[in-house]
Amino acid sequence: MSVAAASPGTAIVADHTTTDLSLVPETWIETAKDGLQVAYGYFSHGSQVITGMRTLREPPGSLYWFDATGSQDGLVVKEGIPAGSFGSLET
């Protein structure tokens, strides 16, 4: 079901069964990897995002590869909440 087809008050479930990653142009992904550094802090259930990303990233150097340094042309993804940032437990 597309968002346009959803009627008001109807839940829209967007999960791995409704996503076709082959429809995302590789140039968009490469542009994002070149221009972004992601800091992702989470508590409890937030780890599910990173876990899902890990299922896509293999092998090293692949289109969806990521790590903390951006090695092998990967996206830079740093897990954790930087001290002093919004959401940090440190003051």
Phi-psi region of 50 (alpha: psi -120 to 50; beta: other; left: phi over 0): alpha
Q: What is the pTM of this model?
A: 0.64
Average pLDDT value for residue range 13-25: 81
Residues 33-70 have pLDDT tens digits of 999 988 888 777 778 888 888 888 888 889 999 998 88
- Cβ atoms 58, 19 nearer than 8 A: no
